Amino acid sequence: MAAGLPPDALGRRVACGTDYGTVRYVGSVSPTAGIWLGVEWDDPQRGKHDGSYEGTQYFKCRHPKGGSFIRPNKANFGVDFLTAVKDRYGLNDEQDGQCGTGNTVVIGTKTVEFVGMDSVAEQQRQLNKLVDISVRECAVSHAGQEEEISRTCANMRHINLSKNLISSWETVVAIASQVQNLETLNVSENKMRFPSTSTFTSSAFSNLKILALNQTEITWTEVLLCAQGWPVLEELYLSSNNITVLERPDNVLQTLKLLDFSDNQLLDGNQLHLIAQLPRLEQLILRNTGISSIHFPDAGFGCKTKMFPSLKRLAINDNKISQWSSINELDKLPSLRALQCNNNPFMDTEKNPETLKQLIIAKISKLEVLNNCEILPAERRGAELDYRKIFGKDWLEAGGHWNPEKNKPSEEFLAAHPRYPALCLKYGAPEEGELKGQQPLTLKNQLLTLTIKCPEKPEQKPVEKKLPESMTIQKVKGLLYRLFKIPGSDLKLSYESSKLEGKEVELDNDLKPLQFYSIESGDCVLVRW
């Protein structure tokens, strides 16, 4: 074996300059002399071949040009954890460490600058103060001497080990087992081997709450095996791991609140049923997972599913969902409050973004945030009233009726509009006269006949005005200023409708048009100052 070459070199992660790879072969390559390393590179463009040379296959690569041979002295096999920490935070006597020599570190809430610490005792005191440690891209490959980390860095709680040279999960366990109060761990961008059989570890991760395993090539089966050692884990990040198949997590991950599957090609939305009984899961991130539909078969129209009982926030953006039926299904989730759904084909069915937003709001009853925008009460009311009116004719034709005894809408209508009965209960069923003659949108048809009243100024007689429904509240205030000679900034507007007896709705957003509030001809605008 060549001098300086680790005895376990085969399978180890190495760096060569800025390139990372895995050693797939150690030995001679005929007809040359000496030892070579056959490396499969993370970036196939760094390679030259598939592991074969002059007709002999020395190792195999996933990419036909992903491999090459290098001499051992060109490969960086990394350093132990503590060496990386000392180098990163300027605590080594030798200042030629393998990663950046930052001179400041956050300890609790204080930023401490390390200057001229010569004594070992002083170095030890500073290491013991470290709580939040980042050794990203510091070529960490192994834990080091047994118990050295626990003796030196006793107070660590948060560790960033991303993009290093860690080759196996056992190395992560060896480091974590020496950090008694570890709460947050990021080992993303380390392509490592995970155990294929149960390896329950009683204490290494006993306090761990947040774990990031993005781009580590872990499978869901391996996640479940390792999860036996994560008894209180709350957040798990698994982005970009080629996870395609899920299994039911029996007796593990029961404390999980956040799960990130983004950039894994799950393809089949029914896979989600296998994780649907996680009791505390509040946030599920499914961005760019290839799913084309969502369905909760245990619940019928207008009913709530028993799946995902605690799910409040769901991200399904950048997928292949093409049918509105999947959005209807989301109303079955009993706790859903926030949704991200941009960049799905179903959104192309409606060209007007405001109408699209209103449709989603009307279909999901408890939604409070849509695509990171808060849904105001007036916006929800407007969306639901518009939805009730737009599809009222379809409802009547499908067997709907304002008389409850005659109200028997078809299964097909309820499948397409499962919330419609609830909206009828909330706002009253639409009557035929209300829905008749919905004419094309011309300027004449868009004019609203409104009565303007000043309830606190009885001497001011009511005035009738015809206003475009696209007119903003700000412009309405300008009109009223000319009418009443009161500065628009002092005006407070609201309106009342015969359909909402006893209720008064504030017109509180100057930038919104009248149609946003679902004002109709015959309604009364109330003016106060």
pLDDT band at 435 (very low <50, low <70, confident <90, very high): low
52, pLDDT greater than 80: yes
pLDDT band at 446 (very low <50, low <70, confident <90, very high): low
Which has the higher per-residue pLDDT, 454 or 470? 454
91, pLDDT greater than 90: no
pLDDT of residue 445: 47
User: In this structure, how many other beta carbons lie within 10 angstroms of the beta carbon of residue 316?
Assistant: 24
pLDDT of residue 442: 41
Distance CA 36, CA 25 (A): 8
Share of the chain above pLDDT 70, in %: 89
pLDDT of residue 498: 77
pLDDT band at 119 (very low <50, low <70, confident <90, very high): low
338, pLDDT greater than 50: yes
User: In this structure, how many other beta carbons lie within 10 angstroms of the beta carbon of residue 431?
Assistant: 12
Token code pair at residue 35? 């030892």
pLDDT band at 115 (very low <50, low <70, confident <90, very high): very low
Q: What is the DSSP letter of 70?
A: E
Mean pLDDT of 167-175: 96
pLDDT of residue 201: 60
pLDDT band at 189 (very low <50, low <70, confident <90, very high): very high
Share of the chain above pLDDT 90, in %: 67
pLDDT of residue 471: 85
The helix/strand/coil state of 185 is strand
Tens-digit pLDDT profile for residues 239-296 = 999 899 999 999 999 999 999 999 999 868 889 999 999 999 999 999 999 999 999 9
36, pLDDT greater than 60: yes
pLDDT of residue 110: 46
pLDDT band at 444 (very low <50, low <70, confident <90, very high): very low
2, pLDDT greater than 80: no
pLDDT band at 403 (very low <50, low <70, confident <90, very high): confident
Token code pair at residue 308? 């995902």
Distance CA 350, CA 390 (A): 14
Which has the higher per-residue pLDDT, 490 or 28? 28
- The DSSP H or E segment spanning 373 is strand 373-374
Mean pLDDT of 149-167: 94
pLDDT of residue 268: 80
The helix/strand/coil state of 36 is strand
pLDDT of residue 117: 40
Mean pLDDT lowest among 123-127, 345-349, 507-511: 123-127
Distance CA 477, CA 473 (A): 6
Mean pLDDT lowest among 262-271, 329-338, 442-451, 492-501: 442-451
79, pLDDT greater than 50: yes
pLDDT of residue 16: 95
User: In this structure, how many other beta carbons lie within 10 angstroms of the beta carbon of residue 354?
Assistant: 13
CB 198 within 8 A of CB 192: no
Q: Distances in Å between the alpha carbon of 143 and those of 186, 234, 288, 290, 371?
A: 15, 25, 35, 38, 43
pLDDT band at 120 (very low <50, low <70, confident <90, very high): low
pLDDT of residue 510: 84
pLDDT of residue 129: 84
Q: For 523, left (φ over 0), alpha (ψ -120 to 50), or beta?
A: beta
Written as one letter, the residue type at 232 is: V
Distance CA 233, CA 252 (A): 10
Q: What is the mean pLDDT of the chain?
A: 88
pLDDT of residue 436: 59
pLDDT of residue 301: 86
Distance CA 143, CA 139 (A): 12
pLDDT of residue 502: 75
Mean pLDDT of 68-82: 96
Mean pLDDT of 407-435: 88
Mean pLDDT of 507-512: 85
Could you please report the per-residue DSSP string of 228-250? GG-TT--EEE--SS--------T
Mean pLDDT lowest among 13-27, 99-113, 115-129, 506-520: 99-113
CB 229 within 8 A of CB 200: yes
Distance CA 242, CA 211 (A): 18
pLDDT of residue 323: 94
Mean pLDDT of 139-161: 93
- Alpha-carbon Rg for the chain, nearest whole angstrom, is 32
Which has the higher per-residue pLDDT, 84 or 441? 84
Tens-digit pLDDT profile for residues 304-317 = 999 999 999 999 99
Distance CA 449, CA 81 (A): 75
